[in-house]
Chain A
């Protein structure tokens, strides 16, 4: 195992710092939106969004456009389309989402075979490469985090009411459709911007796992939302350190640390921490 100083030296490298900041930003965003996503039972939706990003990337490659500039518009249009489909059909949500994500994965892989050589390779699409994060990506993430915080912060009470009981929120004059649409667009953007670092397979963990851990430790809603974002960031920091020290792939290392946090939350005695 490398010494502490050599690990610290590693984090003086610019690409490691970018990776760390990128991980923290993604962790904060995933935790923040994730707290509402799991309560609204959209966990599987975020999973489908992640998988569908492969389709977006291969479309970009096939058309000869930079995949990362295709990805965001694709994710938003795709998310709105799927949300519309879920509202219009009477099938079960999880079954429909399964159709959506497995077929977009399948079509994406087929499209990739027409592209020929893709220098990143399918591996980096599936599992991401957080060390390849550029400062431009960080700015996009930071702006998006700002947008998420503003939206959730300014409409917090409407969001809570919509999560509790939609008819009750509508009776208070909240436009459920508008809020749902904005939320889904933000979720799609968060997933889209994080794909490059985390990969299509693991991105939904950022949304689901910290929020579930926070739920186990919270009794008030506001505390829960904040804790969820913080645990997302904590998982990213721990995961980056572990990945640097043991030379592990960073995306899976972060998700493993999120799992560790979740397991600790399960084991911790409820009475002490439920005051959050």
Chain B
């Protein structure tokens, strides 16, 4: 059990009056890459947001690094610092004046009260290292308003990487990257997983990418429909049960 980075047990989340996520249980071990797949509206984003304490849950338990997530979504600060999260459609207001360096630096500090100029040197070093890792060192002084979609993704990934973490949660992260960017992205994830033992949980719509890169798949349509290795979980029979027969016929004909 000590290697389980995330344990979710019997999680049920309501949106308004209906259950968007029902009785979901799974665990993530260190150094694994797990994909969540499922049709639109299946509750995938709701699931990860409840795991992070962004949305309240109705029932169930969430343990991150052995620490329980409280009913109100509170985790100890040192555990929070081990988690990175990249939300879906990270569309923040581009009119907000902030440089890439500043954005990435936000990922470095643990966010208690502190003087704004404290730890300047180590922070700056960590930011350059993270930007270099995603091949975006040149973007550092740029305001985010000037970034393209792909450059923005790199900056956000650097925000996740700037501090060593144990758990990385991505909500359709590579969407918006071109082919080369996407392959570099998956390479980087592989490296984080292998060399540093990060546990990765990613929502994806790209089943081919999931087949190629992930160790395990959770098929979700409100509840877990199947889970296992990509070969098993993404077999035609299982896809029918998750996405419906129309989807599978479409994929076979094209």
The answer to whether the Cβ of A160 comes within 8 Å of any Cβ in the partner chain is yes
Q: Assess the A221–B54 pair: CB atoms within 8 A.
A: no
**Considering the chains assembled together, what is the distance between the CA atoms of A260 and B114 in angstroms?**
36
Q: Assess the B92–A170 pair: CB atoms within 8 A.
A: no
Question: Closest CB-CB distance, A101 to chain B, in whole Å?
Answer: 25
**Considering the chains assembled together, what is the distance between the CA atoms of A222 and B95 in angstroms?**
15
Question: Closest CB-CB distance, B183 to chain A, in whole Å?
Answer: 26
> For residues 149 through 176 of chain A, which have their beta carbon under 8 Å from a beta carbon of chain B?
153-158, 160-161, 163-165, 167-168, 170-175
> For residues 109 through 126 of chain B, which have their beta carbon under 8 Å from a beta carbon of chain A?
109, 111, 113-116
Given A219-B143, A220-B98, A220-B102; A171-B111 close (CB under 8 Å)? no
The answer to whether the Cβ of B179 comes within 8 Å of any Cβ in the partner chain is no
Given A219-B143, A221-B98; A174-B52 close (CB under 8 Å)? no
Q: Assess the B116–A170 pair: CB atoms within 8 A.
A: no
Contact pick for A170, options B53, B102, B106, CB 8 Å: B53
**Considering the chains assembled together, what is the distance between the CA atoms of A174 and B106 in angstroms?**
12
**Considering the chains assembled together, what is the distance between the CA atoms of A167 and B116 in angstroms?**
22
**Considering the chains assembled together, what is the distance between the CA atoms of A62 and B53 in angstroms?**
47
Closest to B53 in A: A170
> For residues 75 through 115 of chain B, which have their beta carbon under 8 Å from a beta carbon of chain A?
75, 77, 80-81, 83, 85, 87, 90, 92-93, 95-99, 102-103, 105-106, 109, 111, 113-115
A121-152 near B? 1/0 per residue, CB < 8 Å:
00000000000000000000000000000000
The answer to whether the Cβ of A109 comes within 8 Å of any Cβ in the partner chain is no
The size class of the interface chain A forms with chain B is 20 to 34
**Considering the chains assembled together, what is the distance between the CA atoms of A55 and B75 in angstroms?**
42
Closest to A158 in B: B111
Given A167-B87, A174-B111; A153-B98 close (CB under 8 Å)? no
Q: How many residues belonging to B are interface residues under a CB distance threshold of 8 Å?
A: 33
> For residues 168 through 195 of chain A, which have their beta carbon under 8 Å from a beta carbon of chain B?
168, 170-175
**Considering the chains assembled together, what is the distance between the CA atoms of A239 and B109 in angstroms?**
40
The answer to whether the Cβ of B25 comes within 8 Å of any Cβ in the partner chain is no
> For residues 2 through 52 of chain A, which have their beta carbon under 8 Å from a beta carbon of chain B?
39
Residues from chain B with a CB closer than 8 A to the CB of A219 are 97, 99, 143
Q: Assess the A220–B113 pair: CB atoms within 8 A.
A: no
Given A163-B96, A219-B97; A168-B109 close (CB under 8 Å)? no
Given A157-B106, A219-B99, 6 more A-B residue pairs with CB atoms under 8 Å apart are A167-B54, A171-B83, A172-B85, A173-B77, A215-B95, A219-B143
Residues from chain B with a CB closer than 8 A to the CB of A220 are 97-99, 102, 143
Residues from chain A with a CB closer than 8 A to the CB of B238 are none
**Considering the chains assembled together, what is the distance between the CA atoms of A60 and B44 in angstroms?**
53
Q: Assess the A222–B87 pair: CB atoms within 8 A.
A: no
Please give me the 4 A-B residue pairs with the lowest Cβ-Cβ distance, nearest first.
A173-B80, A171-B85, A154-B113, A219-B143
Q: Assess the A222–B111 pair: CB atoms within 8 A.
A: no
Contact pick for B52, options A153, A163, A170, CB 8 Å: A170
Chain B residues with CB under 8 Å of chain A are 49, 52-54, 73-75, 77, 80-81, 83, 85, 87, 90, 92-93, 95-99, 102-103, 105-106, 109, 111, 113-116, 143, 169
**Considering the chains assembled together, what is the distance between the CA atoms of A219 and B81 in angstroms?**
28
Residues from chain B with a CB closer than 8 A to the CB of A175 are 74
The answer to whether the Cβ of A74 comes within 8 Å of any Cβ in the partner chain is no
Contact pick for A221, options B80, B90, B102, B115, CB 8 Å: B102
**Considering the chains assembled together, what is the distance between the CA atoms of A255 and B243 in angstroms?**
59
Q: Assess the B113–A222 pair: CB atoms within 8 A.
A: no
The answer to whether the Cβ of A206 comes within 8 Å of any Cβ in the partner chain is no
Closest to A219 in B: B143
Q: Assess the A222–B116 pair: CB atoms within 8 A.
A: yes
Residues from chain A with a CB closer than 8 A to the CB of B74 are 173, 175
Q: Assess the B109–A164 pair: CB atoms within 8 A.
A: no
Q: Assess the B109–A39 pair: CB atoms within 8 A.
A: no
Given A165-B90, A170-B52, A173-B77; A224-B97 close (CB under 8 Å)? yes
Q: Assess the A173–B85 pair: CB atoms within 8 A.
A: no
**Considering the chains assembled together, what is the distance between the CA atoms of A54 and B72 in angstroms?**
38
Residues from chain B with a CB closer than 8 A to the CB of A154 are 113-116
**Considering the chains assembled together, what is the distance between the CA atoms of A155 and B169 in angstroms?**
25
16 interchain pairs, CB-CB under 8 A: A39-B96, A153-B116, A154-B116, A155-B111, A157-B106, A160-B98, A167-B52, A167-B87, A168-B87, A171-B169, A173-B77, A174-B111, A175-B74, A215-B97, A221-B98, A222-B102
